[in-house]
């Protein structure tokens, strides 16, 4: 049995990673979605074990010490990480898995899995990105300013990715990602 693909989708906060992944679900029903652990508090409508594994800080630190995370990062005062076993077991079973993670975490995964497929989701513009973050209505001005500063730095890291997909319209972004996955499965190994 051939191994599955590890697909890493990342980009600046507010670019629409979660929205794009939600739109991909009905389009690619066999794609497995990795659920990240976080110390961030749940947003309205988020469910533990579905959107994230919501952890207390001490519990997350224990996961780090026990090497239970494929990657982890601290972002805007909260920890985010990918449980290692689930990802490795999924790939070994021949299924594709997608990680929706922040840029810091994606670069750590690339160190451990350089053969993964790394996709950077970009906003159409920085102004549009700021409008999306403000539109959430969940952040204060200081956090918005910090997220925008971090986003500018993250955009410079695009050179570490295999593909860039502009999230200008959800349907088009999904089609582009589907095309990347199909192409990767057709790739001649060297």
Identify the structural domains of the chain with CATH numbers, from first to last: 6-186 (3.40.50.300)
- The secondary structure of residue 42, as a DSSP letter, is P
Q: Name residues of the chain where pLDDT drops below 50.
A: none
pLDDT of 11 reads: 92
Confidence at residue 176, expressed as pLDDT on a 0 to 100 scale: 97
Report the pLDDT value the prediction gives residue 163, as an integer from 0 to 100.
98
Q: What pLDDT score was predicted for residue 1?
A: 53
Instruction: Calculate what percentage of the chain has a pLDDT beyond 70.
Output: 99
pLDDT number for residue 56: 96
User: What pLDDT score does 190 carry?
Assistant: 53
Strands 78-83 and 69-75: antiparallel
Q: Return the ∠ at Cα 60 (arms to 57 and 62), rounded to 5°.
A: 115
């Amino acid at each position: 049995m051939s191994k599955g693909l590890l697909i890493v989708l990342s980009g600046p906060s507010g670019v629409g990673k979660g929205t794009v992944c939600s739109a991909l679900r009905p389009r690619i029903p066999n794609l497995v979605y990795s659920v990240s652990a976080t110390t961030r508090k749940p947003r309205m409508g988020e469910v533990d074990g579905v959107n994230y594994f919501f952890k207390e800080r001490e519990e997350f630190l224990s996961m780090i010490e026990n090497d239970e995370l494929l990657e982890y990062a601290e972002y805007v005062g909260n920890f985010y990480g990918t449980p290692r076993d689930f990802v490795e077991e999924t790939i070994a079973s021949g299924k594709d898995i997608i990680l929706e993670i922040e840029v810091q975490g994606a670069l750590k995964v690339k160190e451990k899995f350089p053969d993964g497929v790394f996709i950077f989701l970009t906003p159409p513009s920085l102004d549009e990105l700021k409008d999306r973050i403000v539109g959430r209505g969940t952040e204060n001005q200081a956090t918005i300013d910090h997220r925008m500063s971090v986003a500018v730095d993250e955009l410079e890291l695009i050179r570490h990715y295999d593909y860039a997909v502009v999230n200008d319209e959800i349907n088009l972004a999904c089609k582009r990602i589907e095309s990347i996955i199909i192409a990767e499965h057709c790739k001649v190994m060297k």
